[in-house]
Amino acid sequence: STADTTATASGMQAGFGNIGSSTATATMSPTVFAETGNQQLTAGGDILVVARHNHNGTVATGQNTTASASSSAGGLLLAAVGASADANAAAVVTAKVGAGSRLSAGGALQVLADGANLATSSTMGLGFSGLIAAGLSNSSAIVAGSTTADLRGGVADSDLVNVRAQGKNTAVADANASATGGLGGASGGSATARSNSGVQASLGDEAVASTLSSSGAITVDAISNADADATGKAFSFGLG
């Protein structure tokens, strides 16, 4: 699965007294899965069960969930503006061999789940007036979802067994607000970034353990690369 989601909103007002706002929301929450049921399978070569979202198995492929909003107003007497942007990335990526399966591979047996949830939001609110000005900006980037690789069945024969879940989950939020008024100015910038996506690799379950046979390595890896950054800035100026 490969996808981009972008939302953009902008507004501009001018006059004696103006109030304006802009709102942008971008959400990407696909479900991507590669699964077997109670599978009895013998292969002369490799067996590969793989699910991917915005990831090529080595690095994230660069697709993003992006929301940006800007609003500006100028008024002789009054100017008040607000900008709000929300970016939400919550893909659920699952590669799974079902319970009761019995697999035999002449080569490698791999169960791979690779996912990237990247969310970026930015806002700008700008107000300027001869008397009173106000500017507000609110930016939110939320990363959720999950990346799971699960081998619940058994492996009768293989050269190696590799069960790997790899997730890159990054949230970046940036909010800027400014207000300039001849008498007074008020501004506020709020930014929230959260990265809460789970990454899990497992064998068997609580009821039935997996039985594995391999002439090479047996590897179970859960690899998470997560980051959340939020920046809020506000500037106001007035002679009063």
Residues of the chain with pLDDT under 70: 240
Rounded Cα gap, residues 170 and 145, in angstroms = 12
Retrieve residue 104's tokens.
């035999």
Rounded Cα gap, residues 88 and 86, in angstroms = 7
Rounded Cα gap, residues 177 and 138, in angstroms = 9
Locus of tokens 């979202």: 53
Residue 179 burial (CB < 10 Å; 0-12/13-18/19+)? buried
Per-residue confidence (pLDDT) for residue 187, from 0 to 100: 86
Cα 8 to chain centroid distance, Å, stands at: 18
Rounded Cα gap, residues 217 and 221, in angstroms = 12
Dihedral of the alpha carbons of 31, 32, 37, 41, in degrees to the nearest 10: 180
**Interval 27-48: pLDDT, tens:** 999 999 999 988 888 999 999 9
Per-residue confidence (pLDDT) for residue 19, from 0 to 100: 78
Cα–Cα distance list, 50 to 78, 81, 111, 167, 220 (Å): 58, 48, 6, 14, 15
Per-residue confidence (pLDDT) for residue 86, from 0 to 100: 97
Per-residue confidence (pLDDT) for residue 240, from 0 to 100: 61
